[in-house]
Structure 1
């Protein structure tokens, strides 16, 4: 098995731990200065939720390697992590508030990722019956 999605999930999971721990310990003062500790925590939470979603997609891709719906879900979850969590991480550390305008695009990517995962399940049901 040479599943890129699982490898990326492993990297993102490790990064999530490092970023979360660094935020809680090394960046506490900076986050307090900007009043963004909760925002940072939200970024870490969604980073992890969607890392697990990417892991699930990777496991499914092992069985259904040609599914376009799974490929799209993977791409959208990954995009969501970079745009949603990435913009919140940056906002939290810099205080640049206009970055909050970018965050919803990451949320839309997450939602679309879940929709493609749902479409995959509908497609799989049709091929099994």
Structure 2
């Protein structure tokens, strides 16, 4: 259930942030910032969908489910939200540089979640 809750919340926020970026921030962002912001939104939505689907198909008590859920929730938060923070802070004149190393850490957690998902599928063959 926790995967579906976070998946739905991430999906909702991805739509809100995507619209916000495309309309409210379009004039404020450079092309590079807009592209980075959109990358954060896309990755957030991809992982929202995966959390909902796999969360629906798996037993909540399974170790796989718990590990997968944590990796994708924390990874999505670190990856996408650090991109949002970097873009917004740069657009408003005070770039939060400490967020730079957070993005790849989030990406690494997402890769770990995908590796775990692949492992689970291969073991089910």
When normalised by structure 1's length, the TM-score is 0.83
Q: How many angstroms apart in 1 are the aligned matches of 2:113 and 2:56?
A: 16
Deviations, residues 88-128 of structure 1 (Å, cap 9, x unaligned): 00011111262222210011010000111123224444xxx
Q: Which has the larger radius of gyration?
A: 1
5+ long unaligned stretches in structure 2 = none
Q: Is the 8 A contact 1:5 1:55 kept in 2?
A: yes
Helix, strand or coil for the counterpart of 1:116?
Answer: helix
Q: In the alignment, what sits opposite 1:14?
A: 12
Aligned length: 120
Deviations, residues 70-91 of structure 1 (Å, cap 9, x unaligned): 2111111111111110110001
When normalised by structure 2's length, the TM-score is 0.86
Aligned alpha-carbon RMSD (Å): 1.8
Q: Is the 8 A contact 1:9 1:54 kept in 2?
A: yes
